[in-house]
Amino acid sequence: MFTVIGFAIFSFLSTYNALFCLVSLFVSLAISIAVSRLKIDNVYQIVLMIGISIVAAINYLISMFMPHYTTNNIASFVAIILITIEVLALAGAKFFSRFA
């Protein structure tokens, strides 16, 4: 909701940035829901949720201020790396939950 309002109000926020912000939030939300449904220790689940929230906030800010081009875009690369870290944390939690 805030992304759509920000897109309407701020001139620096382009359609590319707004869509990338929404996609990054959707991916983080999907990963958070997947973590909450895992049968893992509560402490590990809370730590993962806090970590995913922090990474989602950083990814949102990067997506908001990234350049509008796709080639040689370091911010886009960093955002994709952060999403990959979130997915790997989910896979690691699922893998290590087998041993608990």
Query: In the structure encoding, which two tokens stand for residue 81, read together?
Result: 């790396």
Number of domains composing the chain: 1
Give this prediction's pTM.
0.82
Length of the chain as a residue count: 100
Identify the three-state secondary structure at position 26.
Answer: helix
- pLDDT, one tens digit per residue, over 28-52 is 999 999 988 888 878 888 989 999 9
Per-residue pLDDT tens over the stretch 82-97 = 999 989 988 888 887 7
Taking the C-alpha atoms of residue 56 and residue 83, their distance in angstroms, rounded to an integer, is 8
Contacts of 81 (CB under 8 A, 6+ apart): none
Distance CA 15, CA 64 (A): 10
Q: pLDDT tier at 100 (50, 70, 90 boundaries)?
A: low
CB 10 within 8 A of CB 21: no
Q: State the residue range of the domain holding 9.
A: 2-96
Chain segment 49-68, per-residue pLDDT in tens: 999 999 999 998 898 888 87
pLDDT for the residue 56: 92
Position 66 scores a pLDDT of 84
